[in-house]
Amino acid sequence: MKLIPAKTPSFVKSLFTNFTWNIDTKKQELYLTFDDGPTPEITPWVLEQLKTYNAKATFFCIGSNVEKHPEILKSIIDEGHTIGNHTYNHLKGWKHKTKDYLVDVELAQKAINKISLSNSKLFRPPYGKFKTKQAKQLQKSDYKIVMWDVLSFDWDVAVSQKECLDNIINSANEGSIIVMHDSLKAKQNLKYVIPKVLEYYSEKGFEFKALA
Active site residues: 35, 181
DSSP state of 111: H
Say how far residue 57 (Cα) sits from the centre of its chain.
9
State the Cα–Cα distance between residues 152 and 131, nearest whole angstrom. 24
Candidates 38, 173, 27, 210; CA nearest to 115 is 38
The helix-helix angle for 70-78 and 43-52 (nearest 10°) equals 10
State the Cα–Cα distance between residues 23 and 29, nearest whole angstrom. 9
Candidates 6, 17, 8; CA nearest to 135 is 17
